[in-house]
Amino acid sequence: MKKSTTLSLQDAAADALVPLLPSATAITWAHAEDGASLADQVGSAVVASFVGTTAADIALVLADDAALAEAAGTDSLVSTADVLRPALEAAAGPLGTGVLGEASIDDAAALFADDDTVVYALKAGKTAVGWFAIRVREGGAIWGSATDPKRSVAGKLGRISNVEMALTVEIGRTRMAVRDVLNLEPGAVIELDRSAGAPADILLNGRLIAHGEIVVVDQDYAVRITQILDVAESMS
């Protein structure tokens, strides 16, 4: 029997997930009686791992392919994982400070079959429209304890020292309508929201962790770190 606090945490993740699912009708959740029996049915799912105050593996399956295709658009600019990313990020919110890894489409049978996984049936009315699975890994805290949120992370990252994460350098952003993106041609100039000489943002799996300046090293672009942000603050 799992601890009630863990179940409450997982229920909170399911609560946060369902409002952001692409559906014309409201979706609710209910505990699935046996996740192992679903393992052979779910096949591929959108999966992601969360590393932080609480570590967890999550998977999401929606049966309505038409709704996902409509949300993604007809030009294949957005993948199924991209469409469901906001819902997965919302589900990770109750887990506390941390980083949600890249969402990808993968075989989730082993996750659904694991005894430590809590599986939810997603329903529109009385009709099952998908499943959500979450496996909380005990002892996953790496960013500091709840009693000391500012505690240094040095010495705790050894548990995940071999985990690879995406480090991105961003010099600016802009927002464009899809029609404008499709009309882009070679030679087009896109104006960003940052002035020349402003520091670049350095992001770890999409989370801002530092600022820096762009330099050239042996004819390759590089970034020189000018400021490292507080980890707990930047990931909260």
Whether 98 contacts 204, CB under 8 Å: no
In a domain, 92, yes or no: yes
32, 60, 56: which is closest to 45 by C-alpha? 60
Please give the pLDDT value at position 12.
93
In a domain, 102, yes or no: yes
Do 122 and 49 belong to one domain? yes
In a domain, 149, yes or no: no
DSSP 6-49: HHHHHHHHHHHHGGGS--SS--EEEE-S-HHHHHHHH-EEEEEE
141 vs 186, which has greater pLDDT? 186
Contacts of 29 (CB under 8 A, 6+ apart): 14, 15, 17, 18, 120, 121, 122, 123, 132
Residues 40-67: what's their mean pLDDT? 80
In a domain, 146, yes or no: no
Residue 77 belongs to a domain with what CATH number? 3.40.1550.10
Residue 191 belongs to a domain with what CATH number? 2.30.330.10
142 vs 200, which has greater pLDDT? 200
The alpha carbons of the chain give a radius of gyration, in whole angstroms, of 20
Do 90 and 190 belong to one domain? no
Percent of the chain topping pLDDT 70: 73
Q: Provide the domain count of the chain.
A: 2
Domain enclosing residue 108, as ranges: 4-137
Do 20 and 127 belong to one domain? yes
74, 77, 65, 73: which is closest to 23 by C-alpha? 65
Angle between helices 4-17 and 80-92 (to 10 degrees): 140
pLDDT for 100-124, tens place per residue? 888 888 888 888 888 888 999 999 8
Do 175 and 128 belong to one domain? no
Do 17 and 104 belong to one domain? yes
Residues 176-202: what's their mean pLDDT? 89
Other CB atoms within a 10 A radius of the CB of residue 204 amount to 16
Of the three residues 137, 157, 187, the one that is the final residue of a domain is: 137
pLDDT for 149-169, tens place per residue? 334 444 444 555 666 678 889
Do 66 and 123 belong to one domain? yes
In a domain, 20, yes or no: yes
74 vs 205, which has greater pLDDT? 205
How far are the Cα atoms of 60, 66, 127, 197 from residue 70, in angstroms, in the given order? Answer: 18, 6, 20, 41
In a domain, 161, yes or no: no
Please give the pLDDT value at position 75.
52
157 vs 97, which has greater pLDDT? 97
158 vs 53, which has greater pLDDT? 53
pLDDT for 196-235, tens place per residue? 888 999 888 777 888 999 999 888 899 999 988 865 444 4
In a domain, 154, yes or no: no
142 vs 217, which has greater pLDDT? 217
Do 120 and 179 belong to one domain? no
